[in-house]
A and B are shown apart, each in its own frame.
Chain A
Amino acid sequence: MESKKRVAVGEGLLTGPLEQFEEVRLVGTRCHDCGEVMFGTYHSCANCASEEVEQIPLSREGTLWSYTIINHCPPEPYKGPKNPFIPFGEGLVEVPEGVRVVSILDCPLEDIKIGMKLELEPYVLYENEAGEEVVAWKFKAK
């Protein structure tokens, strides 16, 4: 059987073949003028307004800068498990390029600690109405 077509959960966030999760990276935008790196695709620098920017893949490894636990089901249009809802960690993961990206944390809640080493983990969040698998990301303990 032919595998389902995959699409990213949002434009300009993920790069690499979505069929091979180990090759997928988050997208960053680097500013040539001020050196800032932003998460996602920008056409000018959110810091200094320079238009001399380029997209770069972000490292798959990072460390946890801060976190919380989501104990209650987020509002619509949340696509994760709802019946039953499974509490999860949400954190800001600092990657070596100098940006902290908001992410779901895939590890036991009691293991979550600031400074822990993490690794990018793309996954299929849900199947959309067109029958495509929608790919999002988590970070898991390394």
Chain B
Amino acid sequence: MREVAIIGAGIHPFGRFDETYIEIGQYAARAALNDAGISWRDVQAAVVSEQYLPSTTGPRILKPFGATGIPIMDMESACASGGSTLRQAMLAIQSGDIDVAMVLGVEKMPRGFMNPLMIYSEWQAYMGMSTNPSYWAMRARRHMHEYGTTEEQIAKVAYKNHKNSVHNPNAMYRKAFTMEEIMGSKMVCDPIHLMEICAPNEGAACLIICAKEVAHKYSSNTPITIAACVHTLAAYSADFRCPIDSLSAKANNPGPTEVTSKKAYEKAGIGPEDVDCFEVQDTDAFCELEIYEQLGLCPFGEAGRLIDEGVTEITGSKPVNMSGGLISKGEPVGASHLGQLYELVQQLRGNCGPRQVEGAKVALGQVLGASGNCAVTILKK
């Protein structure tokens, strides 16, 4: 199969804005076209991901660039939307159908609580078991019980990510906080505090991808190879994300990030030891700890030790969330994974200034969300 590479990347900062989703999406798309040095006329298909926007969002954003007649598809896979869209566009290139595609993620989410009836059963919402962080909290509490993970170790993840965000102009929050401030912030769902949770918001990210063998014809950028892009749904009872109403006490299936990353490592022909930097789904700070284990950065139960030892700091041997993570960037669901990949492209190009991982050559992005939707993408310089 033909190799696929990224030749352009663009982003609209994540946050809250007065602009429409059309303006936000167009901003990122233009930035990616300019970065690649190509014209909209060179794009042969576009796949657009969003979860909280109207039907035909993609054409509404991109058709004004010129009605070139290419297919513009909208796709959604919850927090993993960017992975499923990228994969679809790659398949079109790998099959030989097209050479150049645009993958765009855009979101403008409603403020306040997300409508619980979009993901929970009515009875769960009536009874008050419809607070997303409560499900993350129950998983954290169990990990603490089984492995002795502490509230302080969970807070350290938020401390690290907030600290990293200071250097990321595209993050929503760009402020470092002390451990006292984080652990003293409002207790949302015991043991998870407010400063350990990501906020839904707005933003867009865009990649221009191309068959690697012809990349030089379109762009003078050094192509970044997409060594793997895998999207899966969690096995039976293997995930704890909302919405769940029960969990098997007998089944012992591996978690979605473990399954998905294993497939991705295999496709890329590498292991976790070969990856220089990671962007992962820190919906809440505990979630990042769990992902360390599922990505194979440490044995199960040892994520707390990993954060204590500073292994996942920018200066550590396995840097995670150099961008500040979702905790700092916020999570515009449709744009989230492509935003991670934007950051990783900049890391592989060596553009990241104070948050640069020295000599990064291989990078991994991971997302996980509702219904156990999980995506892992591995990029190689």
Residues of A participating in the B interface, judged by any CB pair closer than 8 Å: 9-10, 13, 35-40, 46-47, 65-72, 74-80, 88, 90-92, 94, 98-104, 114, 125-126, 134, 136
**Secondary structure of the B side of the interface?**
mixed
Decide if B145 is an interface residue (CB 8 Å cutoff).
yes
| Bound-state Cα–Cα, A99 to B244, Å | 12
Residues of B participating in the A interface, judged by any CB pair closer than 8 Å: 112-113, 115-117, 121-131, 134, 137-139, 141-142, 145, 186-192, 236-237, 244-251
Q: Are A70 and B247 in contact (CB under 8 A)?
A: no
Q: In the complex, which of the residues B126, B138, B187, B249 contacts A125, with contact meaning CB atoms closer than 8 Å?
A: B126
- Given known contacts A72-B188, A92-B247, A114-B145, is B138 in contact with A80 (CB within 8 Å)? no
| Bound-state Cα–Cα, A36 to B115, Å | 32
Tell me which residues across on chain A come within 8 A of B121, comparing CB atoms. 10
Q: Closest Cβ of chain B: how far from A72's Cβ, in Å? A: 7
Tell me which residues across on chain A come within 8 A of B116, comparing CB atoms. 74-77
Tell me which residues across on chain A come within 8 A of B247, comparing CB atoms. 65, 92, 99-100
Tell me which residues across on chain B come within 8 A of A101, comparing CB atoms. 245-246
Q: Are A71 and B125 in contact (CB under 8 A)?
A: no
Q: Closest Cβ of chain A: how far from B136's Cβ, in Å? A: 9
Q: Closest Cβ of chain A: how far from B286's Cβ, in Å? A: 11
Q: Are A10 and B123 in contact (CB under 8 A)?
A: yes
Q: Are A79 and B251 in contact (CB under 8 A)?
A: no
Tell me which residues across on chain B come within 8 A of A100, comparing CB atoms. 246-249
Given contacts A36-B236, A68-B137, A75-B112, 17 further A-B contacts (CB under 8 A): A10-B122, A10-B123, A40-B246, A66-B141, A68-B189, A68-B192, A71-B187, A71-B190, A72-B131, A74-B131, A75-B131, A78-B128, A90-B131, A99-B249, A100-B246, A102-B124, A126-B126
| Bound-state Cα–Cα, A65 to B116, Å | 24
Q: In the complex, which of the residues A65, A76, A136 contacts B123, with contact meaning CB atoms closer than 8 Å?
A: A136
Q: Are A98 and B248 in contact (CB under 8 A)?
A: yes
Q: In the complex, which of the residues A10, A38, A79, A90 contacts B138, with contact meaning CB atoms closer than 8 Å?
A: A90
CB closest chain-A residue, reference B131:
A74
| Bound-state Cα–Cα, A100 to B240, Å | 12
Q: Are B190 and A66 in contact (CB under 8 A)?
A: no
Q: Are B245 and A39 in contact (CB under 8 A)?
A: yes
| Bound-state Cα–Cα, A9 to B121, Å | 10
Q: Are A98 and B125 in contact (CB under 8 A)?
A: no
Q: Closest Cβ of chain B: how far from A7's Cβ, in Å? A: 11
Tell me which residues across on chain A come within 8 A of B250, comparing CB atoms. 35-37, 98
Tell me which residues across on chain A come within 8 A of B237, comparing CB atoms. 46-47
Q: Closest Cβ of chain A: how far from B189's Cβ, in Å? A: 4
Tell me which residues across on chain B come within 8 A of A103, comparing CB atoms. 129
